[in-house]
Structure 1
Amino acid sequence: MADLYIGLMSGTSLDGVDGVLCEFGGSAAASLRVVAHAHRGFDSAVAAELMALNTAGADELHRAALAGNALVRVYAAVVSDLLRQSRIDASQVRAIGAHGQTVRHRPGEFDGTGYTLQLNNPALLAELTGIDVIADFRSRDVAAGGQGAPLVPAFHRAVFGRPGVTVAVLNLGGIANITALSADGRTIGFDCGPANALMDHWCLTHRGQPFDRDGAWAASGRIDATLLSRMQAEPFFAKAPPKSTGRDLFNAVWLASMLSSGPSSANPADVQATLAELTAWSAATAIQAHASDATRVLVCGGGALNGHLMRSIASHLPHATVRPTDDQGLPPLEVEAAAFAWLAKAFVERQPGNLTAVTGAAGPRILGAFYPA
């Protein structure tokens, strides 16, 4: 009998919530079928508050609690959209996998354990939807000494892996991460640098638009080689995996420091072109280092819709075909949400959701916390 799960994802790009209703015909992720997909954008006040909570500020605990409530109301609206589209009753859904909104991610730091923090209110989501909720997927891995991210490589292996063939999967959300699915069955994955976070910030600041549609603005500029070189010297890029990052590092302050620490173009379009090239370079460098024999690079996340960025990545990887995950039957904006539906299923079945070679955790762990309807 098929199982129905909902996955909800709101990423570092802060463009809203993607949700999918997935049908699993068996235990393998490869058996999944996306029954419905829905997206709800954040209104400007919610997006601004979620962004602000990425950095220290006044009355953070109070504001974070209310922001979690606001986020969950968007989650609940997406769930309602999915059920209406599919004509499925809430009672038929086994569980919702709700990732939450990451606002701080500092694994291994400060006291040797560190933390990862996703704003959420899973109890409220269970109350509003009448469906069991699985949330807080990253903390268990961090408690076991891992990075808590990325969590999608096991899902990528099950869905996109091909026996005897090396495949690279590149997720371009606010932050970029890669999964290297080696022909011999090994899987590694890690965050490799910024994707849309810095480009979106720069576009909003200088053009009043939330993102650079199809990368047209970046394509109109020229790469500033001096600025690019300064950015490439960021120590994170040279760090060996396991590693993860977020807006804790790649944020407006980091970009301002890069622009002010030496000569750079006064043309904002040139900075946008340089940020796009930084993303393309860091992603391609990671793929060349860890999946050099990959002839196929599958791209998901919002960045897969950026034609200029996709062409830039392909130019760095002349021996590979760089294509969105549509080619494999799972559109780019559905992949991460589907992964959290799969992680919710893994929790319900008491199966580990992490890969120790990816996160560096001490061992396989069941990820998540349960909030019954």
Structure 2
Amino acid sequence: MARGKASGAGPGPGELLSPAQRLDWLRLIRTENVGPRTFRALINQFGGAAAALEALPTLARRGGRLLPPRTPTLDEAEAEVAALARLGARLVATGEADYPVALRQLDDAPPLICIQGRGEVLRRPMVAIVGARNASAAGRSFAARLARDLAGAGWVVVSGLARGIDAAAHEASLDGGTVGVFAGGLSRPYPPENLGLIAKVAETGALVSEMPVNWEPRARDFPRRNRLVSGMALGVVVVEAAERSGSLITARLAGEQGREVFAVPGSPLDPRAGGTNRLLKQGATLVTEVEDVISVLSPMTGRQRPDAIEAEGPPMTPPMPGDDARARIVGLLGPVPTLIDDLVRLSGCTAAEVQIVLLELDLAGRLDRPGTGRVALK
């Protein structure tokens, strides 16, 4: 990528960001201690990624960090974009046409996702199908039938490309377009035995990741992946899941995200049905046929609307709080999550001042953001 061309070119068709802005967004979200919520707060406070990048060292120092957080260089960002291009993949920003509408509505939606395949399938309503890796033959057969019927009815099936239920759902919905979500980068497909299936998904549907292109997936990355699987969908169907299954994490995340949770009943004698049967006891919708899913989710498709597009504005210089204000805000924080609105009210500071102090602590690695509107000290 020619740096001079990137800095002067505007957004392409259907794009929100210019090439230079996209590189700034990539550098910012890949910065140490910057997650989706922190990214959004930085953009809101400083008007754009370029201004936020300039402010990072000062913010981190005020938060108590001696060295600035590690930020990728422009060359490193360009190298990641080039590596994606070699895979036939690209970066899509929240607010752009191929960014899933349902995912965009999450508080912790990734500002950029890597997409390989047909972006248009990401514009259609989705249903997630997840379940046990060591699935029974009956479980795989039902997952395949459900996925095939959903695809035939115009729904896109999204899952995590794992063995068992995930693989059966992807395989059965290839003709209708299916979406597979990676825990690692797009150049690190997993598991190895599903490489053929992953290639088929990329050809007829789409592969998605929020991680750097060469990121090797770790155990902790799979729950993070699961929030994207549930976040892209209007509902999540759990076909088989033991009591300690990772699929139950997806179901829990779906409930927290306001998604519908469905479960397929199983024999009480089969440990692989323990988790799904418990979901049913907790109020999940019982599924024995595709109509059980479609009848609940179809009315929601008309209410699915894009959020306001996040465009970059002019650079801003937010007011920096004084030492007294900073001390009052930090003094109100502790290990127990606190509402940001309460910090504003109890500190007597403005919302902008509170947000700046939270960003300082966040970039110094001292802040935890456990949920919407809540923060705590680590």
TM range, normalised to the smaller chain? Answer: under 0.3
Between Structure 1 and Structure 2, which shows a larger proportion of strand residues? 1
TM-score of the pair, normalised by structure 1: 0.26
Larger Cα Rg: Structure 1 or Structure 2? 2
Greater RCO (CA < 8 Å, at least 6 residues apart): 1
TM-score of the pair, normalised by structure 2: 0.25
